[in-house]
């Protein structure tokens, strides 16, 4: 266990290094943070912190920088996440207002997180257990092409184009029967009802009806939680020197939806903000990064998770505050 003074020194080293990008020396700490002790005392404390693995010396005659273990203790010591300022909250509300459907909400959230944090933003599509189908339509695009449209109660719009040669009478009948089967039902219940809808059509019309039914089943049965949107990737270029080799492995990992879903899934079990730092990450390509994430949803249910990925040298208090604020806002917005 570290005493209060050593914890204060560690916090000062983390704060100074994140701000300056330069290794931190004892004299600079005493001058900038008014620690109330001599540089010699701070050097002794830094020696203990280094022996315990919380800081390290990147090269001879240099100051010290935090290790992953040091960042972890720093994050664990953050007693309370400060809320965003009034101006920042207003900016969030302004940016998100006017979203027209779920795709728009997710797209705006990704852009907002990337702008607020200057990191890579990742947002998982929500699964809202209380969502029901509100509208189904089958419109003609051309003689051979129709578009099937599904609107959910959470504002999500799904559409798919299908090639189907039917007259107007059959098109209208398919639309009517599909709507009767799924509207005002949950996706799961709608899928169950659709299983026998083809039997309601005349034998000669069943083949065409099954094409539309199969398409609707695909739209309803694709779990949106398996979709993750990534934004702000160019922000990685600002931190190219922070990574052990190149940003290539990081970019490759960010393209793996399964990897991101597993990372976000862990955050969904956290009570508030989830932080994974450097070597704590089980995925090799992301072990030079940190992830800050938070679940979002209603007070009764977690729908999905959002967060950011960036170098371990990040302003954790600010990142945690931004991620939590956006998660809470999106949850209220969709409720």
> Which of 20-24, 127-131, 240-244 has the highest mean predicted lDDT (pLDDT)?
20-24
User: Is the pLDDT assigned to residue 126 strictly greater than 60?
Assistant: yes
User: Is the pLDDT assigned to residue 257 strictly greater than 80?
Assistant: no
Q: Using 50, 70 and 90 to split pLDDT, how confident is the model at 246? A: low
Q: Using 50, 70 and 90 to split pLDDT, how confident is the model at 243? A: low
> Which of residues 248 and 4 earns the better pLDDT score?
4
- Which helix H or strand E contains 75, and what residues bound it? helix 68-76
pTM of the model: 0.74
Q: What is the mean pLDDT of residues 169-197?
A: 90
Smallest CA-to-CA distance from 259 within 232, 283, 293, 230 is with 283
Smallest CA-to-CA distance from 187 within 148, 216, 227, 228 is with 216
* Strands annotated E in 169-288: 228-231, 273-277
Give me the pLDDT at residue 247, please: 72
> Which of residues 116 and 258 earns the better pLDDT score?
116
- Which helix H or strand E contains 190, and what residues bound it? helix 187-194
Sign of torsion over alpha carbons 29, 31, 36, 40: positive
Give me the pLDDT at residue 101, please: 80
Q: What is the mean pLDDT of residues 106-129?
A: 89
Sign of torsion over alpha carbons 250, 256, 262, 264: positive
Give me the pLDDT at residue 17, please: 94
The position carrying tokens 């009517």 is 176
Q: Which residues contact 87 (CB under 8 A, 6 or more apart)?
A: none
The position carrying tokens 């409720």 is 335
CA–CA distance, 71 with 247 (Å, rounded to integer)? 21
Q: Cα torsion for 226, 231, 233, 238, to the nearest 10°?
A: -140
Q: What is the pLDDT of residues 270-321, one digit of tens each?
A: 778 999 999 998 888 888 899 999 999 877 778 889 999 999 999 999 999 9
Domains of the chain and CATH, by start: 4-77 (1.10.10.10), 86-128+225-334 (3.30.450.40), 132-221 (3.30.390)
CA–CA distance, 113 with 294 (Å, rounded to integer)? 12
Looking at residue 83, the DSSP 8-state letter turns out to be: P
Q: What is the pLDDT of residues 46-90, one digit of tens each?
A: 999 999 999 999 887 778 999 999 999 999 998 788 888 898 889
Give me the pLDDT at residue 323, please: 95
User: Is the pLDDT assigned to residue 129 strictly greater than 70?
Assistant: no
User: Is the pLDDT assigned to residue 14 strictly greater than 60?
Assistant: yes
Tokens of 204: 């000669």
Smallest CA-to-CA distance from 68 within 300, 309, 311 is with 311
Tally of CB atoms within 10 A around 236: 20
CA–CA distance, 81 with 320 (Å, rounded to integer)? 7
CA–CA distance, 305 with 293 (Å, rounded to integer)? 7
User: Is the pLDDT assigned to residue 158 strictly greater than 90?
Assistant: no
Give me the pLDDT at residue 11, please: 94
Report percent pLDDT > 90 for the chain.
Answer: 49
Q: Using 50, 70 and 90 to split pLDDT, how confident is the model at 258? A: confident
Which whole-number Å values give the CA distances from 318 to 42, 108, 232, 325, in the listed order? 27, 20, 17, 11
Per-chain mean pLDDT for the chain:
88
Are residues 81 and 326 in contact, defined by beta-carbon separation less than 8 angstroms?
no
Give me the pLDDT at residue 41, please: 92
Give me the pLDDT at residue 283, please: 84
Sign of torsion over alpha carbons 119, 125, 131, 133: positive
Give me the pLDDT at residue 187, please: 78
Q: What is the pLDDT of residues 200-239, one digit of tens each?
A: 999 999 989 999 998 998 888 765 556 789 999 888 877 7
């Amino acid at each position: 266990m570290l005493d209060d003074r050593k914890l204060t020194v560690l916090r000062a080293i983390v704060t100074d290094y994140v701000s300056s990008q330069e290794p931190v020396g004892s004299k600079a700490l005493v001058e900038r943070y008014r620690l109330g002790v001599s540089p010699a005392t701070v050097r002794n404390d830094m020696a203990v912190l280094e022996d315990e693995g919380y800081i390290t010396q990147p090269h001879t005659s240099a100051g010290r920088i935090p290790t992953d273990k040091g960042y972890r203790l720093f994050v664990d010591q953050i007693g309370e996440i400060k809320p965003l300022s009034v101006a920042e909250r207003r900016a969030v509300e302004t940016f998100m207002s006017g979203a027209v459907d779920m795709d728009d909400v997710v797209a705006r959230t990704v852009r907002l997180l990337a702008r607020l944090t200057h990191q890579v933003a990742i947002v998982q599509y929500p699964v809202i257990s209380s969502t029901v189908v509100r509208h189904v339509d089958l419109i003609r695009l051309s003689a051979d092409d129709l578009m099937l449209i599904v609107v959910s109660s959470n504002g999500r719009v799904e559409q798919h184009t299908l090639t189907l040669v039917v007259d107007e009478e059959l098109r209208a009948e398919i639309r009517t029967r599909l709507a009767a089967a799924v509207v005002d039902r949950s996706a799961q219940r709608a899928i169950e009802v659709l299983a026998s809808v083809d039997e309601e059509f005349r034998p000669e019309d069943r083949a065409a009806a099954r094409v539309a039914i199969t398409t609707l089943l695909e739209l309803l049965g694709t779990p949106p939680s398996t979709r993750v949107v990534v934004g702000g990737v160019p922000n990685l270029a600002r931190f190219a020197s922070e990574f052990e080799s190149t940003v290539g492995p990081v970019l490759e990992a960010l393209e793996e939806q399964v990897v991101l879903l597993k990372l976000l899934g862990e955050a969904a079990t956290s009570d508030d903000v989830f932080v994974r730092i450097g070597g704590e990450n089980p995925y090799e390509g992301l072990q030079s990064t940190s992830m800050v994430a938070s679940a979002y949803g209603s007070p009764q249910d977690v729908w999905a998770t959002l967060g950011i990925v960036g170098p371990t040298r990040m302003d954790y208090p600010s990142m945690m505050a931004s991620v939590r604020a956006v998660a809470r806002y999106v949850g209220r917005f969709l409720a």
